[in-house]
Amino acid sequence: MIKAAPAKKIPPSNPLEDLAVRLAPDMKSVNALILERMVSEVPLIPQLAGYLIAAGGKRIRPLMTLASTRLFDEKTDRPFRLAAAVEFIHTATLLHDDVVDESDQRRGQASANALFGNQSSVLVGDFLFSKSFELMVEDGSIDVLGILSKASAIIAEGEVLQLSIQNALDTNINQYLQVIAAKTAALFAAACEIGPVITGQSPEIRQSLRDYGHHVGMAFQIADDVLDYQSSAAELGKSIGDDFKEGKMTAPVIYAIEAAKAVDDKEFWVRTFEQKDVTQDDLEHAQNLIRGSGADQKTLDLAQKHTQLARNALNCLPESDLKNTLLDLALFALNRKS
């Protein structure tokens, strides 16, 4: 049985910001490396990469590499290159995702492919991906190279699987979980395993941090997939409805389809997902069906389970402020509103 960490109220502040503040000096070094390694004689490369990297994003993955190192070693500069490598892999997958999804928006701004073209996005993604391996080679750990090359292959597999089941109404929750474990949680897990590896921790500690990263990644992605159908998120500035538009089979939809009893409701999902015949009011109707059937709550329960598993994974660590921030971060994955 899973040993449950004590239940805890939602922390009042934003633990991701707490983490960023706590690790600000480290992150400064990582950001400097990121800028330095985007440089190329070909001007389009730093332009495009810089556009996406400057556009923000939470830098959660490199923060996890830094945090998973600082739990065990307060001084080493080894995580800097590797955190930059993790962010480059993430940025490369975002660039390629936007091409695959034909997105015109990313984080509320024009997506890189909309602005620079699909062709450049594919190639600059490849460039950043190669640069991430150059950074790992400089660090010199074959273990880390193994962790991140494996994670990268799994991410690509997950994306292909997601594409294969797009618009497929018979997708079940396990297929969904398989997709997000690969496309999202694999890099979170890898990012968190780097710290114990480069500081020479035991295989058990490695596995615990890996588990923590995996479950936080799962909770983040599941919560994100709920938010994509929540008007309250839209009010807070998050763009919603993308998954619906793209026919992505995410948990809220899978649960709502399972719960659909009325012929009209079943036909609605067939029309909007299978037949890709979507009209203006359909998103609102989908939101109503998801809320009305309790599919949103059922999805959040799933995220909650991963939050709890993430917290449990840290039981093996001694108490520390940083550990507490990581515990809070797992709750935040679940409770964020946008």
Query: Binding of a copy of itself at residue 145 (CB under 8 A)?
Result: yes
Among 160, 231, 274, 320, binds a copy of itself (CB under 8 A): 160
Query: Binding of a copy of itself at residue 276 (CB under 8 A)?
Result: no
Taking the C-alpha atoms of residue 250 and residue 13, their distance in angstroms, rounded to an integer, is: 29
Taking the C-alpha atoms of residue 311 and residue 298, their distance in angstroms, rounded to an integer, is: 20
Quickly count: other Cβ atoms within 10 Å of residue 186's Cβ: 24
CB-nearer residue toward a copy of itself: 150 or 337: 150
CB-nearer residue toward a copy of itself: 113 or 312: 113
CB-nearer residue toward a copy of itself: 92 or 180: 92
Taking the C-alpha atoms of residue 216 and residue 189, their distance in angstroms, rounded to an integer, is: 8
CB-nearer residue toward a copy of itself: 85 or 260: 85
* Residue position matching structure tokens 């983040």: 220
* Residue position matching structure tokens 């067939």: 270
Taking the C-alpha atoms of residue 155 and residue 338, their distance in angstroms, rounded to an integer, is: 24
Tell me if residue 109 falls in helix, strand or coil. Answer: strand
Taking the C-alpha atoms of residue 327 and residue 315, their distance in angstroms, rounded to an integer, is: 10
Query: Binding of a copy of itself at residue 324 (CB under 8 A)?
Result: no
Stretch that binds a copy of itself, among 34-42, 217-225, 261-269, 305-313 (CB under 8 A): 34-42
Phi, psi of 35 (to 5 degrees): -65, -40
Give strand pairing partners of 109: 106
* Shortest distance in whole angstroms from residue 243 CB to a copy of itself: 16
Query: Binding of a copy of itself at residue 317 (CB under 8 A)?
Result: no
CB-nearer residue toward a copy of itself: 162 or 308: 162
The residues that touch a copy of itself, with contacts defined as CB under 8 A, are 40-45, 92-93, 96, 99-100, 118-120, 122-127, 129-131, 133-134, 136-137, 140, 142, 145-146, 149-150, 152-153, 155-157, 159-161, 163-164
